[in-house]
């Protein structure tokens, strides 16, 4: 039956309580009783006032003051307040319908009021598909075309929110079929699409329940070929597969470039995994032309690969000893390993130990089911098997073995790392951020990152952002040695962040000078660069932070510092560090104390952090008054929240500097602020 006829029949059935029978211009409509009840089901009821992003609300989300309804509000009072709010929203919808001479049924008007109450009026821009369809006439489009344009308005930040997706589907059924109760229209669902570093026309697509998955878009990624869309269990979906409910699908890629390794032949079972990880910079060869796929893997190598694959990044602070100690310290902090568990970072790791590290780093706990392996039922191995990370080897006798006590080859660990990355990409946790084994609630009031990652580009060794003016920066300390600042300026650098000094991470926490500070800041200023400064902090009290700020302010008093003065507190792993176990609330107060001193002196304060500190150590909502300098060495930032400066490399090459230097991009010209 035509959906317009269905909507008309339902309109007639509800004649006495909710609607007139004919379509009319927007100015002739008000929200109906059925429409109010429809919207109430999504809003929830609060008897007492509550604070929501700085606004006090009560009842069904109606704005109030903190002194209103101190004894609570009745549902009748709340409904009346809610109706008054919806009448205001209805006026905006009516004005929109009148402006574009759109005729609407009551069911459509009520759906649009619900849509606008939840989202605001931004959707009314004719540049958006759904608005253009309304203006053109919904009767000119099929249901799925309308649904795809409508349900896409279901994001929190960049992430699809399953609750909003359900609301959009219910509103769409009211809009198209006049179905207030959700029981007299066809059943629709959706697939959430993760392009996994590529692009697709949309990240959500609607289907009738029971439909085949034959409308999936073709995802694209430069230098890659689409391997297909994969479900949350790591299984490739096919056009003939049936969708019965919401699905999360992730694009997987075949590398379409030549590998430099003569010992990784095309057609080898591990070629795809090594190729994609090499292209992403996750693994490298043992030489420019060899990968040594059958070579062994050490504890240190395994720790680095697993931690990075699960999104856990170590501090870039200087740590004495083995190159992998920073990863061991991070694993200790994350309780992935215990003190003394790893005796030798250079020793080869066994397949059981790999399973232990990977399962703990990923937070996998499901070890249920009968083991498919003849030689182990280890809980960590089973957790990885249940997650699709390991498979084992099926021998000629038809039995499958894991060989837990054997070493693991570079080819095998490449497969495991590839699957860990894919598993992380498949994860969907609306309203939360997945960071390693952590699930972190999204902070309200902290601005999310909204830049288009495809707009970043590199030129002459530096990173820029297309469509927005940015500024090229470096940060330096005594480790860069003597610098020819005139050459640095001619190379294209706009500003330099210069270390003033730091505090030791031992128990005494002694403060120290950067012996090249004066030479660096004077050289940079004489060459015509703008300068900012940073202090490597290991403060554990507010008083120490204030002491550090006073020290910095005294040092820069005679210099023209126009870029930020930065609080650079970094986590030094291991229990020997004085900052070990510092509570988040105290750390935020420490950072705030430093920044308050800096701001009072007339400079711009800024706080530096990497992903670990940004997600785990800090509560960014408590320090959001200050600018952020984010550190992650990658092609794109991969951080949920916004920042003002990005340290994107620790291995930059700049004329005038011997050796490597950190590279930065600033989205503000602080010298003009």
Output the CA–CA distances (angstroms, integers) from residue 86 to 38, 176, 313, 616, in the order listed.
12, 21, 47, 40
pLDDT score for 414: 93
What does the DSSP assignment read for 21-61?
Answer: SS-B-GGG----HHHHHHHHHHH--EEEEEEETTEEEEETT
pLDDT score for 131: 94
Tell me phi and psi for residue 189, to 5 degrees.
Answer: -145, -165
What does the DSSP assignment read for 301-341?
Answer: HHHHHHHHHTT-----S---S-TTHHHHHHHHHTTSS-TTS
- Spell out the residues 6+ positions from residue 218 whose beta carbon is closer than 8 angstroms to its own: 200, 226
Which residue in this structure is represented by tokens 């949920």?
640
CA 633, CA 651: separation in Å to the nearest integer? 9
Q: What is the largest CA-CA distance in the chain?
A: 86
CA 79, CA 39: separation in Å to the nearest integer? 11
Can you give 563-592 as a three-state secondary structure string?
A: CCEEEEECCCCCCCCCCCCCCHHHHHHHHH
10-residue block means of pLDDT along the chain (673 residues)? 37 36 57 94 88 85 89 92 93 94 93 94 93 93 93 89 92 95 92 91 93 88 78 78 91 74 89 82 86 95 91 76 90 88 94 94 86 93 88 87 95 92 65 77 90 87 90 96 96 97 88 97 98 97 97 97 97 77 94 98 96 92 97 88 95 94 97 84
User: Which CATH number describes the domain made up of 453-672?
Assistant: 3.20.20.80
CA 635, CA 618: separation in Å to the nearest integer? 24
Q: What is the pLDDT of residues 638-650, one digit of tens each?
A: 899 999 999 999 9
Is the CB of residue 168 less than 8 Å from the CB of residue 151? Answer: yes
Output the CA–CA distances (angstroms, integers) from residue 623 to 343, 415, 537, 585, 593, in the order listed.
39, 40, 16, 10, 10
Map out the domains of the chain as residue ranges. Answer: 3-186, 257-434, 453-672
pLDDT score for 222: 80
- Spell out the residues 6+ positions from residue 27 whose beta carbon is closer than 8 angstroms to its own: 94, 95, 97, 98
pLDDT score for 427: 55
CA 111, CA 134: separation in Å to the nearest integer? 13
pLDDT score for 256: 63
Q: What is the pLDDT of residues 11-53, one digit of tens each?
A: 333 333 333 334 555 456 789 999 999 999 998 888 988 888 7
- Spell out the residues 6+ positions from residue 396 whose beta carbon is closer than 8 angstroms to its own: none
CATH architecture for the domain at 3-186: Orthogonal Bundle (1.10)
Is the CB of residue 569 less than 8 Å from the CB of residue 518? Answer: no
């Amino acid at each position: 039956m035509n959906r317009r006829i269905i909507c008309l029949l339902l309109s007639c059935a509800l004649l006495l309580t909710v609607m007139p029978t004919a379509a009319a211009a927007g100015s002739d409509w008000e929200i109906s009783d059925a429409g109010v009840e429809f919207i109430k089901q999504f809003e929830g009821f609060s008897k007492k006032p509550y604070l929501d992003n700085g606004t006090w609300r009560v009842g069904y989300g109606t704005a109030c003051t903190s002194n209103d309804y101190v004894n609570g509000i009745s549902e009748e009072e709340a409904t009346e307040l809610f109706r008054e709010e919806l009448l205001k929203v209805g006026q905006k919808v009516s004005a929109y319908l009148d402006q574009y001479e759109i005729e609407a049924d009551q069911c459509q008007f009520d759906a649009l009021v619900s849509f606008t109450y939840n989202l605001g009026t931004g959707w009314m821009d004719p540049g958006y598909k759904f608005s253009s369809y309304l203006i053109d006439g919904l009767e000119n489009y099929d249901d799925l075309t309308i649904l795809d344009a409508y349900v896409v308005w279901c994001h929190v930040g960049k992430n699809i929110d399953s609750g909003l997706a359900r609301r959009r589907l219910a509103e769409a059924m009211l809009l198209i079929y006049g179905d207030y109760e959700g029981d007299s229209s066809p059943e629709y669902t959706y697939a959430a699409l993760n392009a996994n570093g590529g692009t697709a026309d949309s990240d959500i697509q609607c289907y009738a329940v029971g439909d085949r998955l034959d409308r999936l878009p073709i995802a694209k990624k430069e230098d890659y070929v689409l391997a297909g869309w994969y479900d949350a269990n790591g299984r490739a979906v096919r056009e003939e597969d049936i969708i019965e409910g919401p699905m999360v699908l992730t694009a997987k890629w075949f590398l379409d470039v030549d590998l430099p390794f003569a010992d990784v032949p095309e057609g080898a079972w591990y070629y795809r995994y090594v190729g994609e990880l090499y292209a992403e910079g996750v693994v490298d060869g043992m030489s420019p032309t060899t990968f040594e796929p059958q070579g062994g893997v050490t504890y240190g190598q395994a720790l680095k690969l697993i931690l990075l694959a699960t999104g856990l990044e170590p501090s870039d602070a200087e740590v004495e000893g083995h190159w992998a100690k920073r990863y061991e310290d991070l694993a200790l902090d994350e309780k992935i390993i215990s003190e003394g568990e790893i005796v030798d970072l250079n020793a080869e790791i066994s397949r059981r130990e790999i399973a232990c590290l990977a399962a703990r780093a990923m937070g996998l706990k499901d070890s249920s089911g009968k083991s498919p392996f003849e030689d182990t039922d280890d809980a960590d191995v089973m957790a990885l098997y249940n997650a699709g990370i390991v498979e084992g080897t099926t021998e000629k006798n038809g039995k499958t073995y894991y060989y837990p006590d054997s070493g693991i080859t570079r080819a095998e660990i490449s497969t495991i790392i590839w699957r860990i990355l894919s598993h992380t990409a498949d994860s969907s946790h609306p309203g939360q951020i997945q960071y390693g084994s952590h699930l972190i609630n999204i902070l309200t009031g902290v601005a999310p990152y909204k830049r288009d990652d495809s707009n970043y580009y590199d030129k002459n060794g530096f990173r820029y952002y297309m469509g927005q003016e940015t500024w090229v920066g470096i940060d330096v300390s005594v480790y860069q040695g003597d610098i020819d600042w005139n050459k640095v300026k001619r190379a294209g650098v706009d500003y330099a962040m210069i270390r003033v000094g730091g505090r030791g991470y031992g128990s005494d926490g002694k403060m120290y000078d950067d012996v090249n500070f004066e030479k660096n800041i004077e050289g940079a200023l004489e060459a015509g660069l703008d300068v900012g400064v940073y202090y490597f902090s290991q403060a554990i009290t507010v008083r120490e932070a204030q002491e550090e700020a006073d020290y910095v302010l005294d040092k820069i008093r005679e210099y023209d510092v126009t870029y930020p003065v930065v609080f650079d507190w970094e986590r030094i792993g291991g229990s020997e560090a004085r900052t070990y176990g510092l509570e988040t609330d105290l750390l935020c107060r420490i950072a705030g104390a430093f920044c308050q001193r800096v701001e009072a002196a007339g400079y711009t304060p800024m706080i530096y952090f990497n992903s670990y500190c940004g997600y785990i150590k800090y509560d960014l909502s408590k320090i959001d008054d200050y600018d952020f300098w984010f550190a992650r060495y990658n092609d794109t930032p991969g951080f949920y929240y916004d920042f003002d400066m990005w340290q994107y490399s620790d291995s930059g090459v700049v004329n005038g500097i011997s050796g490597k230097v950190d590279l930065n991009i600033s989205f503000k010209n602080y010298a003009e602020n």
